[in-house]
Amino acid sequence: MNSILALVIGVAAIAVGYGVYGKTINKNVLQPDEKKATPAKMFMDGVDFAPANRNVLFGYQFKSIAALGPILGPIIAVQWGWLPALLWIILGTFFIGWVQDYTSIMMGVREEGKSFGALSYQLISPRSRVILLTFIYFYLWLIMGSFGIQVGYNLLTNPAVPLGVIIVILVGILAGQMTYKWKQDIILTSVVTVLLSFVGIWLSTLQPVRDFFSLLYAYTLAADGKTLVSPTLFMAVTQAKLIGSLMVVVICYFGAVLPIWRWAQPINYVAFWIVFLGILGGVVGLLIWRPGMGDFPAYTGFNVKGLGPLWPILFVTIACGAISGWHSLVSSSGTARQLEKETDALYVGGGAMFLEMFFAIMAFLTATVAFGGFQGYLDIGGGAAAAKVFSVGLATFMSKWGLDMTLGTVYGSVFLTLMALTIMYLVVRFMRVASAEALGDKIPALKNTHVGTIVALLFTLALIWLVPFLQIWVVFGAANQLMASLALLLVTLWLKGKGKNYQWTLWPFLFMFVTTIGALLYKAYESFILNLPKAADPVANKIASVGQFVSAQVIIGTVSLVLVVAALLLAWDAWMAFRTSGVKAGAKAPARP
Asked if the peptide bond before residue 312 counts as cis, ω within 30 degrees of 0, the response is yes
Buried b or exposed e, range 533-552, using 16+ CB within 10 angstroms: ebeeeeeeeebeeeebbebb
Angle of CA points 482, 484, 488, to nearest 5°? 115
CA distance 100 to 98: 5
CA dihedral 27, 574, 126, 439 (to 10 degrees): -90
- Cβ neighbours for 17, distance < 8 A, ≥ 6 positions apart: 93, 94, 98, 354
Is residue 581 scored above 80 in pLDDT?
no
Packing angle of the helix pair 469-497, 310-317 (nearest 10 deg) = 90
* Strands 228-229, 237-238: pairing kind: unpaired
Is residue 136 scored above 90 in pLDDT?
no
pTM: 0.86
CA distance 13 to 8: 9
CA distance 457 to 469: 18
Residue 280's H or E segment, with its range, is helix 264-289
Is residue 304 scored above 50 in pLDDT?
yes
Provide the terminal-to-terminal Cα distance of the chain, rounded to the nearest Å.
50
CA distance 521 to 16: 36
Q: Give the pLDDT confidence score for residue 374 in this predicted structure.
A: 94
Confidence band (pLDDT; 50, 70, 90) for 65?
A: confident
- Check if the beta carbon of residue 156 is closer than 8 Å to that of residue 417: yes
According to DSSP, residue 292 is labeled B
Q: Give the pLDDT confidence score for residue 587 in this predicted structure.
A: 45
Q: Give the pLDDT confidence score for residue 13 in this predicted structure.
A: 96
Residue 289's H or E segment, with its range, is helix 264-289
Packing angle of the helix pair 186-203, 162-176 (nearest 10 deg) = 160
Is residue 592 scored above 80 in pLDDT?
no
Q: What confidence tens digit (pLDDT) does each residue in 480-499 have?
A: 899 999 999 999 999 999 99
More confident of the two residues 139 and 86: 86
| Number of alpha carbons in the 13 Å side-chain half-sphere of residue 245 | 23
| Number of alpha carbons in the 13 Å side-chain half-sphere of residue 543 | 21
- Check if the beta carbon of residue 582 is closer than 8 Å to that of residue 114: no
Phi, psi of 493 (to 5 degrees): -65, -40
Is residue 47 scored above 70 in pLDDT?
no
CA pseudo-torsion sign 445, 447, 453, 459 = positive
Angle of CA points 532, 535, 537, to nearest 5°? 135
CA distance 121 to 128: 6
Angle of CA points 317, 323, 326, to nearest 5°? 90
CA distance 504 to 94: 12
CA distance 279 to 359: 7
Mean residue pLDDT of the chain comes to 90
CA distance 161 to 48: 31
CA distance 407 to 395: 8
Type of residue found at 21 = Y
Beta-carbon neighbour count of residue 392 at 10 Å? 20
**Distances from the Cα of 539 to the Cα of 185, 529, 587, angstroms:** 63, 19, 57
- Check if the beta carbon of residue 204 is closer than 8 Å to that of residue 160: yes
Confidence band (pLDDT; 50, 70, 90) for 151?
A: very high
Q: Give the pLDDT confidence score for residue 586 in this predicted structure.
A: 38
Is residue 583 scored above 50 in pLDDT?
no
Q: Give the pLDDT confidence score for residue 166 in this predicted structure.
A: 96
Is residue 296 scored above 90 in pLDDT?
yes
Confidence band (pLDDT; 50, 70, 90) for 582?
A: very low
Phi, psi of 230 (to 5 degrees): -110, 145
CA distance 143 to 501: 33
Is residue 1 scored above 60 in pLDDT?
yes
Q: Which fold has domain 3-580?
A: Hydantoin permease (1.10.4160)
- Cβ neighbours for 228, distance < 8 A, ≥ 6 positions apart: 159, 214, 217, 219, 220, 221, 222
